[in-house]
Structure 1
Amino acid sequence: MKLPPLRALPVFEAVARLNSFSRAADELSVSQSAVSHQIKALEDYLGETLFRRNGRYLELTEEGRSYQDSVTSALLQIERASEHLLGASTSRLRLAVFSSFCVRWLIPRLPSLQRAHSQIDLALEMTGESPVLSDRVADCFITIRTASPAFTYDLLYRERLFPICSRAYWRRICDALDLPPDSDPKGAASLTPEQVARFPLLSTFSIYDRESGDWDAWFRVADERLPAGARIQHFSHMLMALEAARYDQGIALTNDYMLSDEADDNLVRLPCHTLMTGDRFYFAHKTSRRNEPAIRLVRRWLIEQAIASGLRSRHAADES
Structure 2
Amino acid sequence: MKNALPPLGWLRTFEAAARHLSFTGAARDLNMTQSAVSQQIKSLESHLGRPLFHRRPRALVLTESGITYLPVVREAFHTLVRGTRAITGTQQNVVRVQSNITFAVNWLAPRLPRFYAQHPEVRLSLSTELWEPREMAEGADIEIRYSLRPSDTVRTEILRGDHYYPVCAPGYPVTLDTLADHPLYDCSNLLANWASWAEDQDLPWPDPPITYSTTYLVSLSVAMTGGGMCLVHDAIALRLLKTGQLIAPFAHRARMPEAYYLLLSPQADNSPHITAFADWIRAEMALDPGGGPDWPTTG
Segments of structure 2 that go 5 or more residues without pairing to the other structure are: 1-6, 12-87
SS of residue paired to 1:106: helix
Match of 1:310 among 283, 289, 296: 289
Deviation by residue 1:223-257 (Cα, 9 ceiling, x = unmatched): 344225x4x45131321111111111222111112
Separation in structure 1 between the aligned mates of residue 291 and residue 136 of structure 2, nearest angstrom: 26
8 Å contact kept, 2:97–2:124? yes
Q: Following the alignment from structure 2 to structure 1, what is the Cα–Cα distance between the partners of residues 151 and 264? A: 13
Matched with 2:97 is 95
Percent of aligned pairs sharing the same letter:
20
**Is residue 134–residue 151 contact of structure 2 (8 Å, CA) maintained in 1?**
no
Which whole-Å CA distance do the structure 2 matches of 1:133 and 1:120 have between them?
26
Cα distance change on mapping 1:125 and 1:304 into 2, 3 Å? same
* Alignment equivalent of 2:169, drawn from 166, 169, 177: 166
C-alpha contact 2:162 2:291 (8 A) present in aligned 1 = no
Instruction: Give, as a single letter, the amino acid of the residue that structure 1 aligns with 2:217.
Output: L
* Residues 120, 294 of structure 1: 8 Å contact kept: yes
Matching residue of 1:119: 121
Please give the TM-score of this superposition, normalised by the length of structure 1: 0.57
How far 1:147 moved relative to its partner?
2.0
- Equivalent AA in structure 1 for residue 164 of structure 2: L
Q: Does 1:148 align with 2:148?
A: no
Deviation at 1:146, TM superposition (A): 2.8
d(CA) in 1 for partners of 2:164 and 2:295? Answer: 23
| Alpha carbons of structure 1 residues 318 and 253: separation in structure 2 relative to 1, 3 Å | closer
Pairs aligned (count) = 210
- Secondary structure in structure 2 of the residue aligned to 1:115: helix
Q: Which amino acid aligns with 1:246?
A: M
Deviation at 1:311, TM superposition (A): 4.7
**1:98 positional shift:** 0.6
Structure 2 letter corresponding to 1:117:
H
Q: Is the 8 A contact 2:141 2:267 kept in 1?
A: no
TM-score (norm 2): 0.60
1:186-211 Cα distance to aligned partner (Å, 9 max, x none): xxxxxxx54533x41422241438xx
Q: Secondary structure at 2:289's aligned position in 1? A: coil
Tell me, in whole angstroms, the C-alpha distance in 2 between the residues paired with 1:276 and 1:201. Answer: 23
Question: 1:206-217 to 2 correspondence within 5 Å?
Answer: 206-208=188-190, 214-217=193-196
- 1:182 is matched with none
* Distance across 1 between alignment mates of 2:167 and 2:262: 27
Question: What are the residue-to-residue correspondences of 1:246-261 with 2, within 5 Å?
Answer: 246-261=224-239
Q: CA deviation at 1:168?
A: 1.9
The aligned residue for residue 234 of structure 1 is: 211
Query: For the structure 1 residues 319 and 241, does the alpha-carbon distance in structure 2 shift closer, same or farther, using more than 3 Å as the test?
Result: closer
Note if contact 2:167-2:232 (Cα within 8 Å) is conserved in structure 1: yes
Q: Which has the larger radius of gyration?
A: 2
1:282 matches 2:261:
yes
